[in-house]
Chains A and B, each alone.
Chain A
């Protein structure tokens, strides 16, 4: 197992794949969070009947396997003649997927702010926008951030599925090396270690934030 044919340039190939994983994750989390902020704010402020169509769409995004969503979106863009590259398809699908989960995180955060606090802000003469920007969102952030970190890490791990569209991300690049070197265990373990190093420190940070902020409640 330690007599490996894996060269430094092969490791570089894996790291390039990891770069693709990170790139897709960053794009998806960025746009997913922006959408999630909008959807979550809407859902926290309107009644369930008004929000029902939005709730249904987001629920579908969470109840259909991501792999099926990717395949469907890829087939659809081909049918509609949009000519998107797999990278764009992956980013769009993962962004929507992220937004579905982020909506719940944002909504939970906003709803955790006591209604009396918001009413107090409004009765001090703040507009709705000032109340959101200066009172509600800062307080909601404390509740929502640990969940959001978990979500971002989940998206990073789920982004492995884009290999089905032919994007060479970390797991796919490890498969390519396995095909050539025929050392599945070792190469997969290297890929696993890279995933672990990407995910574990941030997960720890999230745990620490959650604990520290809970003490001050």
Chain B
């Protein structure tokens, strides 16, 4: 059936390089999550604020992030922003695109969590003498993260999968980019990408496991 000889040893020889790429993948995913969470909190707060402009901008961000492909958002960061004289490197464009996407999805998660926290929590904090910022930061936000922790871990896995889109804007240093570089040199597409698939699977599983361990440490009474 197969008129083809598999050359797995080449893929195994390239494993150290691919693991190096996996580190870059994790780096982009973690950075995009940290920035995404920060923006998402701001968006969630802005969407509930009385300020019309802030609310409108936050709504536009969320709807665009949720109703267009992630690849489109990365293209926008890489090719589109050039019209404003902003030229992002593939790494930055990928990070910007994924961060934009993450923030949109996470802010909806956070909004749902905020709605689930009784308003008496804020009132109790305020009546203890805390200011509005302090009450949100020390009382409401920790509960919000606790409620939205499971969807956040899902989003983290999504972020890892989305980093593979970096090759479409020419990123060569992440796992998909390294694999593609090896592929164009050797044309052993199947072997290299099968190896990459295994690595992506392992990364996703490790992150899920790590998230569970952190949750166990963080959220016990």
Which positions in A face B, CB cutoff 8 Å? 1, 60, 63-69, 71-72, 74-76, 79-81, 153, 157-161, 163-164, 171, 175, 178, 183-186, 188-189, 191-192, 195-196, 199-200, 203
Beyond known contacts A64-B161, A184-B83: 13 more, CB 8 A cutoff: A63-B157, A64-B200, A68-B200, A159-B69, A161-B165, A163-B71, A171-B69, A175-B75, A192-B72, A196-B64, A196-B67, A199-B67, A203-B66
What's the dominant secondary structure at chain A's contact region? Answer: helix
Q: Which of A64, A68, A188, A203 contacts B75 (CB 8 A)?
A: A188
A-side contacts of B161, CB under 8 Å: 63-66
**Interface-facing stretch out of B9-17, B38-46, B142-150, B189-197:** B189-197
Q: Which residues of A contact B189 (CB under 8 A)?
A: 71, 74-75
- Asked if A192 contacts B165 (CB within 8 A), the reply is no
Contact in complex: B66, A188 (CB < 8 Å): no
A64 to B81 Cα, complex, angstroms = 30
Please measure, in the bound complex, the distance between the C-alpha atom of A178 and the C-alpha atom of B76, giving whole angstroms. Answer: 12
How far, in angstroms, from A186 to B197 measured CA to CA in the complex? 35
Q: A63 near B201 (CB under 8 angstroms)? A: yes
Within 8 A of A (CB), among B126-167: 157, 161-165, 167
B109-139 interface (Cβ within 8 A of A): none
Roughly how many angstroms separate A171 CA and B74 CA in the complex, as a whole number? 12
Contact with A along B1-15 (1 / 0, CB 8 A): 111100000000000
Q: Known: A64-B200, A64-B201, A65-B161. Is A188-B193 also a contact (CB below 8 A)?
A: no
Which 10 pairs from chain A and chain B are nearest by CB? A65-B164, A185-B83, A184-B79, A160-B69, A75-B189, A157-B69, A199-B67, A75-B190, A63-B204, A65-B161
Cα of A159 to Cα of B161 in the assembled complex, Å: 15
Across the interface, which residues of A come within 8 angstroms of B193, CB to CB?
68, 71-72, 75
Is B205 an interface position by the 8 A CB rule? yes
Taking the closest CB of chain B, its distance from the CB of A61, in whole angstroms, is 10
State how many angstroms separate the Cβ of A70 from the closest Cβ of chain B. 10
List residues of chain B with CB under 8 Å of any chain A CB. 1-4, 63-64, 66-72, 75-76, 79-84, 157, 161-165, 167-168, 176, 189-190, 193-194, 196-197, 200-201, 204-205
Secondary structure at chain B's binding surface: helix, strand, loop or mixed?
helix
- Give the complex CA separation of A160 and B81 in angstroms: 20
Closest to A76 in B: B190
In contact, A171 and B201 (Cβ under 8 angstroms): no
Partner of A79, one of B68, B72, B190: B190
CA distance A67 to B76 in the complex (A): 19
Cα A88 to Cα B82 in complex, Å, equals 35
